């Protein structure tokens, strides 16, 4: 067996055939190949946003350096590499120069070392960039953003005893993507394991990726199977080139598949070395992708503004906006998920932000439908007090009127149920098997909605039209720009078109909520032009009072120009004009900025005619 060819990390991203053809038509075959390759790797740095209301960039840098030195991350024998893992850093843009559209040939992209060096450390010499693992962003207005350098990909020596196969663990795709970003291997993510793995053993960690099966996709591994580790193993070829590192087993094989939670393998050698910031300096820092931070700046919120974040979970952009507003004004962070709203509240409290209020609200129903609905948050303070006073008076009247009835009802209830209460008391010590199973499920899955700490979240009835100065619609999308990504075949042309359809509906809601003279920012984390440029085209064509506005800072590339004839349809998907393409920002994961794939469009709202 050629161990070097089998035990390495060289994944090929699988796409739906029609989706791949569509993207090749949009980007060109060579460019799309580079995008697909870049998606399988994590960014070679972590981007950290400092909570400037609690700390400073310099203070956080000192704390992080101490933490990194204690964990050994900052002591790479080969020296810490720059952002993209190479010594030659180029940029997607040239500050001060206009860009053309994204070319189908990536060789036409503007490049130059000056831009990225200025983003990293200003005029600092390159040797200093390689010496320190943390660099401060030097883009004007982004000095509170820190880059913590990682490294990779690395060649791992998967050692084993002579003439004995390597002990292995196969993990799920989602688990592997987290491990590539710096996480450990947790028990729920383990799918299969070699026989006779004991606590303390060194194990090679590979990932099970979906394979084509009968017109669909399937992992084809039943959790708990035993790996043989030889070429006769039915899954041997399936994991070729999909090894993400090796580590030390924290549990035996039996323990891994018996446990419900906890770490199964502690990674010691990784293909990509990125530090984990889980639980580190909570409230002082927030791990966030650079394009997401740029999105908050594009909205340009001012202290005292009323801002709506329509799809706010997990709260990163809402809290970024609050810090830009110096915690003055109001940020309404809305999300349709009850538990995600609780997460937003927790994050805002953790960061000490008072201006963020979280609401449970479906973005497709964000506009208040009833004229009779009272939204206290939109009323003048005097009017709010008047309404509250009337409500209190009505409540007091009802309470007084019902007091005597309640007293009699309580007495009757106590009398009738005295014997029943005694009988129930005797039965309380018995716990049925159904109750036991229910308790075990709750321990395994966590508390349900009604048992969640923090209580229930009040569902919003919607917001009044023209009631916000600025609206951010970071729309749910196909997320095809997120990285690392080891599989993309689940998306079809039909599913991509559905994403675009719902995004347009959300945009229709958003445009009613922002006031004339206000600002609306639309963003996604996908590469799909149908969810990006096509949505912008729809907005500009339908709402003539909208216009694209310049964005600051601008470090991303331009949008796609023209359009694309959709396969098997007599329909051309229209994108942008050259002038419009220069006003949006598109982040390409294959570019030297080494970010996720992302798209940002900023609209100025004129006098409405709706």
Mark whether 473 and 599 lie in a shared domain.
yes
With respect to residue 185, please indicate whether it lies within any of the assigned structural domains.
yes
* Residue with token string 């850093």: 89
Q: Average pLDDT for residues 255-274, to the nearest whole number? A: 95
Q: Average pLDDT for residues 563-573, to the nearest whole number? A: 80
- Is 508 part of any known ligand binding site? no
Q: Is the pLDDT of residue 513 over 90?
A: yes
Mark whether 351 and 461 lie in a shared domain.
yes
- Please, are residues 169 and 194 in contact by the beta-carbon 8 Å criterion? yes
Chain segment 127-164, per-residue pLDDT in tens: 334 445 899 998 999 999 999 999 999 999 886 655 57
As a whole number of angstroms, the distance between CA 7 and CA 241 comes to: 6
Q: Which two tokens stand for residue 385?
A: 């007090």
- Is 474 part of any known ligand binding site? yes
To the query of whether residue 525 is one of the catalytic residues in this protein, the response is: yes
User: What's residue 400's pLDDT?
Assistant: 47
Q: Average pLDDT for residues 24-52, to the nearest whole number? A: 96
- Is 317 part of any known ligand binding site? yes
Chain segment 223-234, per-residue pLDDT in tens: 999 987 666 676
Mark whether 298 and 263 lie in a shared domain.
no
Mark whether 322 and 193 lie in a shared domain.
no
Query: Chain-wide mean pLDDT for the chain?
Result: 81
- Residue 57 to residues 102, 117, 123, 605, Cα–Cα distance (Å): 34, 18, 18, 35
- Residue 91 has phi, psi (to 5 degrees) of -120, 160
CB atoms within 10 A of CB 283: 15
Alpha helices in 1-73 (DSSP H): 3-6, 17-27, 29-39, 57-71
What does the CA dihedral 602, 606, 609, 610 come to, rounded to 10 degrees?
A: 40
Mark whether 206 and 261 lie in a shared domain.
yes
- Is 311 part of any known ligand binding site? yes
Decide which of 270, 304, 331 is a domain's last residue: 270
Residue 588 has, within 13 A of its CA and on its CB side, a CA count of: 24
- Please, are residues 552 and 296 in contact by the beta-carbon 8 Å criterion? no
Residue 301's pLDDT band, with cuts at 50, 70 and 90, is very high
With respect to residue 521, please indicate whether it lies within any of the assigned structural domains.
yes
Q: Is the pLDDT of residue 286 over 90?
A: yes
Chain segment 92-111, per-residue pLDDT in tens: 333 333 333 333 333 333 33
User: What's residue 297's pLDDT?
Assistant: 98
With respect to residue 57, please indicate whether it lies within any of the assigned structural domains.
no
User: What's residue 174's pLDDT?
Assistant: 95
Q: Which two tokens stand for residue 601?
A: 């469009």
As a whole number of angstroms, the distance between CA 301 and CA 7 comes to: 50
As a whole number of angstroms, the distance between CA 59 and CA 64 comes to: 9
Decide which of 270, 302, 331 is a domain's last residue: 270
Mark whether 265 and 296 lie in a shared domain.
no
Task: For residue 196, give the CATH number of its domain.
Answer: 2.30.130.10
Mark whether 516 and 580 lie in a shared domain.
yes
- Is 30 part of any known ligand binding site? no
Q: What angle do CA 460, 464, 465 make, to 5 degrees?
A: 135
With respect to residue 248, please indicate whether it lies within any of the assigned structural domains.
yes
Residue 117's pLDDT band, with cuts at 50, 70 and 90, is low
Mark whether 481 and 341 lie in a shared domain.
yes
Residue 565's pLDDT band, with cuts at 50, 70 and 90, is confident
- Is 315 part of any known ligand binding site? yes
Mark whether 468 and 325 lie in a shared domain.
yes
Mark whether 469 and 584 lie in a shared domain.
yes
Range of the domain at 354: 289-367+457-605
Mark whether 470 and 587 lie in a shared domain.
yes
Residue 358: which residues within 8 A CB-CB, separation 6 or more?
A: 312, 315, 333, 334, 335, 341, 342, 344, 345, 348, 457
Task: For residue 564, give the CATH number of its domain.
Answer: 3.40.50.150
Catalytic pick among 193, 525, 558, 564: 525
Which burial class, exposed, middle or buried, applies to 490 when counting CB atoms under 10 A from its CB (0-12, 13-18, 19+)?
middle
Mark whether 248 and 339 lie in a shared domain.
no
């Amino acid at each position: 067996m050629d161990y070097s060819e089998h035990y390495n990390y060289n994944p090929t991203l699988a796409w739906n055939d029609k989706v791949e053809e569509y993207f090749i038509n949009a980007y060109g075959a060579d460019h799309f190949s580079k995008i697909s390759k870049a998606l399988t790797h994590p960014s070679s740095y972590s981007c950290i946003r400092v909570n400037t209301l609690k700390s400073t960039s310099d203070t956080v840098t000192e704390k992080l350096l101490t933490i990194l030195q204690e964990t050994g991350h900052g002591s790479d024998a080969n020296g810490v590499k720059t952002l993209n893992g190479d010594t030659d850093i180029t940029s997607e843009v040239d500050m001060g120069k206009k860009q053309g559209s994204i070319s189908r040939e990536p060789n036409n992209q503007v490049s130059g070392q000056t831009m990225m060096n200025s983003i990293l450390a200003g005029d600092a010499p390159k040797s200093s960039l390689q010496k320190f693992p943390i660099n401060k962003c030097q883009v004007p207005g982004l000095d509170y953003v820190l880059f913590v350098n990682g490294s990779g990909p690395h060649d791992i020596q998967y050692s084993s005893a002579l003439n004995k196969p390597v002990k292995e663990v196969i993990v799920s795709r989602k688990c592997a993507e987290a491990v590539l970003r710096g996480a450990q291997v947790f028990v729920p993510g383990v799918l299969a394991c070699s026989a006779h793995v004991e606590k303390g053993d060194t194990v090679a960690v590979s990932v099970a990726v979906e394979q084509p099966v009968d017109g669909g996709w399937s992992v084809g591994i039943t959790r708990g199977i035993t790996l043989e580790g030889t070429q006769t193993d039915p899954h041997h070829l399936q994991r070729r080139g999909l090894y993400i590192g090796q580590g030390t087993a924290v549990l035996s094989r039996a323990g891994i598949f018996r446990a419900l939670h906890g770490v199964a393998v502690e990674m010691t050698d990784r293909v990509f070395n990125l530090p984990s910031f889980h639980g580190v300096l909570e409230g002082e820092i927030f791990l966030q992708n650079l394009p997401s931070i740029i999105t908050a700046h594009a909205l340009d919120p001012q202290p005292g503004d009323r801002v709506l974040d329509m799809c706010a979970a997990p709260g990163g952009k809402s809290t970024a906006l609050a810090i830009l507003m110096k915690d003055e004004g109001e940020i309404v962070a809305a999300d349709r998920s009850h538990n995600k709203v609780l997460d937003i509240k927790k994050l805002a409290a953790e960061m000490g932000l008072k201006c963020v209020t979280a609401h449970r609200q479906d973005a497709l129903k964000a506009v208040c439908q009833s004229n009779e609905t009272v939204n206290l948050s939109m009323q003048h303070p005097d009017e709010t007090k008047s309404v509250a006073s009337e409500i209190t008076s009505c409540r007091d009247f009802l309470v007084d009127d019902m007091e005597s009835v309640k007293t009699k009802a309580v007495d009757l209830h106590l009398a009738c149920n005295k014997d029943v209460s005694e009988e129930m008391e005797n039965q309380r010590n018995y716990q049925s098997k159904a109750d036991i199973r229910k308790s075990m499920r709750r321990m395994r899955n966590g508390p349900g909605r009604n048992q969640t700490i923090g209580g229930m979240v009040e569902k919003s009835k919607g917001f009044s039209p023209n009631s916000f100065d600025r609206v951010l619609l970071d729309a749910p999308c196909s997320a095809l720009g997120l990285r690392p990504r080891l599989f993309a075949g689940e998306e079809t042309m039909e599913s991509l078109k559905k994403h675009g359809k719902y995004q347009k509906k959300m945009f229709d809601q958003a445009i009613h909520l922002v006031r004339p003279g206000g600002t609306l920012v639309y963003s996604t984390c996908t590469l799909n032009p149908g969810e990006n440029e096509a949505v912008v085209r729809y907005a500009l064509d339908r709402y003539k009072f909208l216009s694209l506005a310049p964005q600051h800072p601008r470090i991303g590339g331009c949008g796609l120009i023209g359009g694309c004839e959709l396969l098997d349809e007599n329909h051309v998907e229209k994108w942008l004009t050259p002038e419009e393409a220069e006003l949006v920002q598109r982040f390409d994961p294959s570019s030297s900025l080494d970010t996720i794939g992302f798209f940002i469009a900023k609209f100025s709202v004129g006098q409405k005619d709706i």
